[in-house]
Amino acid sequence: MKEEIFISGRNIPYIDPSLNIWHWQIPVYLFLGGLAAGILFFAALYTILGKEKEMPTTVKWATFLVPVALVLGLVALFLDLNHKLYFWQLYTTIRIESPMSWGAWVLMFITPLSMVWCATYIKELIPKWDWKFEILNKFEKLAIANRKPMAWALLILSVILGIYTGILLSAFNARPLWNTSILGPLFLVSGLSTGVLLQLCGCRKAILKEKR
Amino acid sequence: MRYAMAIDTKKCVGCSDCVVACQTENNVPHGYCRDWVVEVVDGSYPNLELEIRSERCNHCENSPCVRCCPTGASHYVDGGFVMVTPHKCIGCGACIESCPYDARYSHPEGYVDKCTFCNHRVQKGESTACVSVCPTHCMYFGDLDDPSSEVSKALRNRKYKTLAPEAGTNPQIFYLI
Ligand code: SF4
Ligand code: SF4
Note the ipTM here. 0.85
pLDDT at position A208: 79
Q: Distance between CA atoms of A87 and A71, rounded to whole angstroms?
A: 16
Q: Of the residues B84, B96, B99, which should be mutated to test ligand 1's pocket, given the most ligand atoms within 8 Å of the CB?
A: B99
Residue A18: pLDDT band (50, 70, 90) is low
Residue having the nearest C-alpha atom to atom 7 of ligand 2: B89
| CB B99 less than 6 A from any atom of ligand 1 | yes
Residue A175: pLDDT band (50, 70, 90) is confident
At B166 the three-state DSSP class reads helix
Q: Which CATH superfamily is domain A25-81+98-211 in?
A: Formate dehydrogenase/DMSO reductase domain (1.20.1630.10)
Give the 3-state secondary structure of chain A: CEEEEECCCCCCCCCCCHHHCCCCHHHHHHHHHHHHHHHHHHHHHHHHCCCCCCCHHHHHHHHHHHHHHHHHHHHHHHHHCCCHHHHHHHHHCCCCCCHHHHHHHHHHHHHHHHHHHHHHHHHHHCCCCCCCCHHHHHHHHHHHHCHHHHHHHHHHHHHHHHHHHHHHHHCCCCCCCCCCCCHHHHHHHHHHHHHHHHHHHHCHHHHHHHHC
List the domain range (segments joined by +) for residue B23.
3-176
Contact A14 B110 (CB under 8 A): no
- Residue-wise pLDDT for A73-131, tens only, equals 999 999 999 999 999 999 999 999 999 999 999 999 999 999 999 999 998 888 888 88
- CATH number where B12 lies: 3.30.70.20
Residues 28-47 of B with CB under 8 A from A: 31-33, 36-44
Q: Is the predicted pLDDT of residue A7 greater than 90, yes or no?
A: no
- Residue-wise pLDDT for A20-60, tens only, equals 789 999 999 999 999 999 999 999 999 999 988 888 889 88
Number of Cβ within a 10 Å radius of residue A89: 19
Comparing alpha-carbon positions, the chain B residue that sits nearest to A22 is B93
> Residue ranges of the domains in chain A?
25-81+98-211
Q: Is the predicted pLDDT of residue A1 greater than 80, yes or no?
A: no
How high does pLDDT run on average in chain A?
91
The minimal CB distance from A17 to the residues B69, B71, B106 is found for B106
Nearest CA-CA partner of B80 in B176, B169, B177: B169
Comparing alpha-carbon positions, the chain B residue that sits nearest to A88 is B90
Strand order across the beta sheet in which B35-44 lies = A2-6, B35-44, B47-56
Between CA B76 and CA A173, with CA A8 as vertex, the angle to 5 degrees is 40
The minimal CB distance from B36 to the residues A8, A80, A100 is found for A8
Total domain count for chain B?
1
Whether the upstream peptide bond of residue B46 has omega within 30° of 0, thus cis, is yes
| CB B95 less than 6 A from any atom of ligand 2 | yes
- Does residue B160 contact residue B174 with C-beta atoms inside 8 Å? yes
Q: Residue A11: list chain B partners with CB under 8 A.
A: 31
Q: Which ligand minimizes its atom distance to the CA of A97?
A: 2
Nearest CA-CA partner of B74 in B109, B34, B35, B115: B115
Percent of chain B whose predicted confidence (pLDDT) is above 90: 92
- Residue-wise pLDDT for B16-74, tens only, equals 999 999 999 999 999 999 999 999 999 888 999 999 999 999 999 999 999 999 999 99
